[in-house]
Amino acid sequence: MAGIDKELEEYRKIMTVPDRFEEGFSWRTVVGAVFLGFVMMPASMYMGLVVGGANIGEAARWVTVILFLEIAKRSMVSLKQQELFVLYYMAGIALQSPFENLLFRQYLVCSPAAADMQMVDQFPWWVAPSREEIRMAGRTFFTWGWAGPIGMIVLGNVIGRIDHFGLGYFLYRLTSDVERLPFPMAPVGAAGAVALAESVQEKQTWRWRTFSIGTMLGLMFGAVYFAVPAITGAVFGQAVQIIPIPFIELTDKTSDVLPAVAMGLAVDLGLVIVGFVIPFWAVVGSVVAVVSMIVMNPALYKLGLLPHWTQSMNTPQTGLSNQIDFYMSWNIGIALSIAIIGFWAIFRGLRAAKTEGAMDFSKLWKKNTERGDLSIWTSLFIYLFSTFSYIAFCYFLVPGFPILFFVFYGFIYTPIVSYATARLEGMAGQAVNIPFIREAGFILASRWGHYQGIDVWFAPIPIHNYGYTTVGFRQVELTGTNLRSIIKTEIVVPLIIFPASIIFSQFIWSLAAIPSDAYPYANLYWDVNARSQLLLFSSTTGGESPFFDALKPIVIFAGLGTGTMLYIVLATFSLPTLFIYGVVQGFGHANPHGLVLQLVGALIGRYYFENRFGREKWRQYAPVLAAGYGCGVGLISAGSVAIGMISKSVSQLLY
């Protein structure tokens, strides 16, 4: 395909579309949904509060799949790869616990940050009860005060599930069927399901062996990383961490040499595995971005552009301070440059395709019944229905806000940025994301005198990037799963997930206050997150806002110019596409904590495994190895979570 470099072409060949499409939804997958809702989802919620980014998330998806596969083997039942993929897909829905955010909302309303900024009484009824109601009721969601917030979440999720098959599906058909883009990152999720399906065959293939190796690596690392702290905490009342969670803090040790630089090291074998999977040049580009940050921050500090940083700050505090002083504006400029680059890539690609006669738009209207295609008219109707619904709810909840902003978000900005992302995901595994578009509209409305308050920050604004969903639809196609299976899954799973989510959100909150020492990650980051959010909210409350101190037009234009010039210079030297996007997209966003081990993984994969197995084979091995590793870590994580939750429950009952 013209315009796609060699490495992207290699990713296109990792998997091919099978000849047949089969049904993947069955009573067995329904049992899997129940297991996800009442076992894996609460485990993921708990680990998110304890270790944050190191939670079992993606790992839990593979745990579910392999567990049901082993049960099926012992029951003399064979699971098709389509059923395994549906289980994997279900896990992705289940682990996005719809009511988990209620835990953060109860803290936000009662937080010291809300009191400091005098926002305690400004939260609307459909976000959370008042501070007094929460304190009087205690740690429970089963009060009338929480009925409104819970009802709004249910309504939003119902519309969101329908919305999934709207503009995102239309863009998938456009970019995959008409433009024939390769979607280089789609096989990462699909390859694991195929590997597990092959494990039931009498002659097992390389996929199952690779998956098993990854699983053992995950089990061994997870035993040290998750199990030891969980067991020691349950037995002795104080967790022993052999490996610091979530990372080793180094900012205080390097502050003399590298002022205003957030330094640390995340010791996680999973990062090495991720380095195997992510395209090599994308990782190298991110490393360049990190080095630029390390050099840039001390210089900015000496120039007085990072005035709020002090040597006593740790990583979260340093990040927030630098964000306010400089990087909020800088990142807006960098992201705008990425958007411009993305739209230019779209224009250039469409022009080339038209010249070569490569695009056949008649495919957009033809339905592949075996694949289970929806009508394009149906998908467009869903998009219109969901967008009008969002606008109507926003107008009802925030009647004083100008409705034209909602119309602009839903019918102008969303289609443009969604198509840009869909095309770049299909071509290079990258995405367009312009920050603060929503926030800019809120601030403009406030400054023009049309609106004051913080209600609009919590409204279901019709601003989405549907381009991300195209990768998921491509994975469905690569596994030979009929799309009707996914539609049934989207209907059934929420019926199980909703009650499970509220029950376990309540249960986890009842074990201990959140945040507290019982939940280390939340205890470390939630105050910073609350202050960062409230800083934004303050921009629409009237009067002077600290948010405006963070918006510096000169810095925005500097970031825009720097990002655009970087792309032009790198493209001039014909560097790989992924390296260019890695540098430009990572510049101003990258964090050294996890990137060190990602680079180690990328180097080992590039210069050892590719030489040993061959580049094409290693490209196929890596995603399967990563899926197996996630499964192994997930098994240990789930067991560790069970020990921790049972221990806290027993302690609470005893005392």
The model's confidence at residue 655, banded by pLDDT at 50, 70 and 90, is: very low
Predicted local distance difference test score (pLDDT) of residue 549? 62
Helix residue ranges per DSSP H, 13-56:
27-35, 41-51
Residue in the block written with tokens 């967008």 = 387
| DSSP per-residue string spanning 55-82 | SSHHHHHHHHHHHHHHHHHHTT-PPPHH
Report whether 41 contacts 507 (CB < 8 A).
no
Of 75 and 399, the structure prediction assigns the larger pLDDT to 399
Q: DSSP label at 481?
A: B
Of 197 and 326, the structure prediction assigns the larger pLDDT to 326
The total of other beta-carbon atoms located within 10 Å of residue 619's CB is 23
Interval 456-497: pLDDT, tens: 899 999 988 898 889 889 989 888 899 999 999 888 888 888
Q: Is the pLDDT of residue 334 over 50?
A: yes
| DSSP per-residue string spanning 210-249 | HHHHHHHHHHHHHIIIIIHHHHHHHHHSS---SS-SS-EE
What DSSP element (H or E) covers 639?
helix 615-654
Q: What is the CA radius of gyration of the chain?
A: 25
Dig out the tokens for 257 from the structure. 């040499």
Domain annotation covers residue 649: no
Domain annotation covers residue 279: yes
Best CA proximity match to 148, nearest among 120, 122, 128: 128
Q: Is the pLDDT of residue 381 over 70?
A: yes
The model's confidence at residue 548, banded by pLDDT at 50, 70 and 90, is: low
Dig out the tokens for 285 from the structure. 């580009």
Report whether 65 contacts 192 (CB < 8 A).
yes
The residue range of the domain holding 377 is 6-639
Spell out the residues 6+ positions from residue 622 whose beta carbon is closer than 8 angstroms to its own.
Answer: 276, 277, 605, 609
Q: Is the pLDDT of residue 292 over 90?
A: no
Report whether 34 contacts 384 (CB < 8 A).
no
The total of other beta-carbon atoms located within 10 Å of residue 381's CB is 12
The model's confidence at residue 2, banded by pLDDT at 50, 70 and 90, is: very low
Please state, for a pLDDT cut of 70, what percent of the chain lies above it: 82
Question: Can you tell me the mean pLDDT for 118-126?
Answer: 86
Best CA proximity match to 66, nearest among 636, 639, 632: 632
Predicted local distance difference test score (pLDDT) of residue 391? 94
Domain annotation covers residue 655: no
Domain annotation covers residue 654: no
Which range has the worst mean pLDDT, 76-80, 404-408, 558-562? 76-80
Domain annotation covers residue 186: yes
Best CA proximity match to 217, nearest among 91, 372, 59, 57: 59
| Positive or negative torsion for Cα 336, 339, 341, 347 | negative
Helices 520-537 and 101-110 cross at an angle (nearest 10°) of 70
Query: Rounded to the nearest 5°, which phi and psi values hold at 424?
Result: -75, -35
Please state the separation of Cα 483 from the chain's center in Å.
23
| Positive or negative torsion for Cα 17, 18, 19, 25 | negative
Report whether 62 contacts 49 (CB < 8 A).
no
Q: How many domains does the chain have?
A: 1
Question: Can you tell me the mean pLDDT for 110-134?
Answer: 86
Residues 435-465: b if buried by 16+ CB within 10 A, e if exposed: bbbbbebbbebbeeeebebbbbbbbbbbbbb
Best CA proximity match to 23, nearest among 503, 482, 339: 482
Of 608 and 436, the structure prediction assigns the larger pLDDT to 608
Predicted local distance difference test score (pLDDT) of residue 60? 63
Spell out the residues 6+ positions from residue 558 whose beta carbon is closer than 8 angstroms to its own.
Answer: 330, 333
Best CA proximity match to 103, nearest among 651, 536, 511, 390: 511
Predicted local distance difference test score (pLDDT) of residue 7? 61
Helix (H), strand (E) counts: the chain: 31, 2
Of 544 and 616, the structure prediction assigns the larger pLDDT to 616
The model's confidence at residue 4, banded by pLDDT at 50, 70 and 90, is: very low
Interval 87-96: pLDDT, tens: 888 888 877 7
Q: DSSP label at 523?
A: H
Dig out the tokens for 93 from the structure. 């829905």
Domain annotation covers residue 418: yes
Predicted local distance difference test score (pLDDT) of residue 59? 60
Q: How far apart are CA 358 and CA 501, in angstroms?
A: 47
Strand partners, 22: 481
Q: Is the pLDDT of residue 411 over 90?
A: yes
Best CA proximity match to 196, nearest among 80, 94, 278: 80
Domain annotation covers residue 653: no
Dig out the tokens for 413 from the structure. 């900005």
Predicted local distance difference test score (pLDDT) of residue 604? 93
Arithmetic mean of pLDDT over the chain: 79
The model's confidence at residue 410, banded by pLDDT at 50, 70 and 90, is: very high
Which range has the worst mean pLDDT, 212-221, 313-322, 573-582, 623-632? 573-582
Q: Residue length, the chain?
A: 655
Q: How far apart are CA 25 and CA 4, in angstroms?
A: 36
Within 13 Å and on the Cβ side, how many CA atoms surround 500?
A: 23
Which range has the worst mean pLDDT, 30-39, 257-266, 338-347? 338-347
Report whether 188 contacts 277 (CB < 8 A).
yes
Of 137 and 348, the structure prediction assigns the larger pLDDT to 137
Domain annotation covers residue 326: yes
Q: Is the pLDDT of residue 1 over 70?
A: no
Q: How far apart are CA 348 and CA 209, in angstroms?
A: 43
Predicted local distance difference test score (pLDDT) of residue 203? 54
Report whether 497 contacts 76 (CB < 8 A).
no
Q: Is the pLDDT of residue 358 over 60?
A: no
Q: Is the pLDDT of residue 82 over 70?
A: yes
Question: Can you tell me the mean pLDDT for 116-142?
Answer: 86
Strand duo 264-265 + 248-249: pairing: antiparallel
Q: How far apart are CA 540 and CA 121, in angstroms?
A: 15
Please state, for a pLDDT cut of 90, what percent of the chain lies above it: 7
Predicted local distance difference test score (pLDDT) of residue 392? 93
Predicted local distance difference test score (pLDDT) of residue 385? 93
Which range has the worst mean pLDDT, 13-17, 47-51, 236-240, 617-621? 236-240
Q: Is the pLDDT of residue 420 over 80?
A: no
Q: Is the pLDDT of residue 72 over 80?
A: no
The total of other beta-carbon atoms located within 10 Å of residue 526's CB is 21
The model's confidence at residue 65, banded by pLDDT at 50, 70 and 90, is: confident
Predicted local distance difference test score (pLDDT) of residue 603? 93
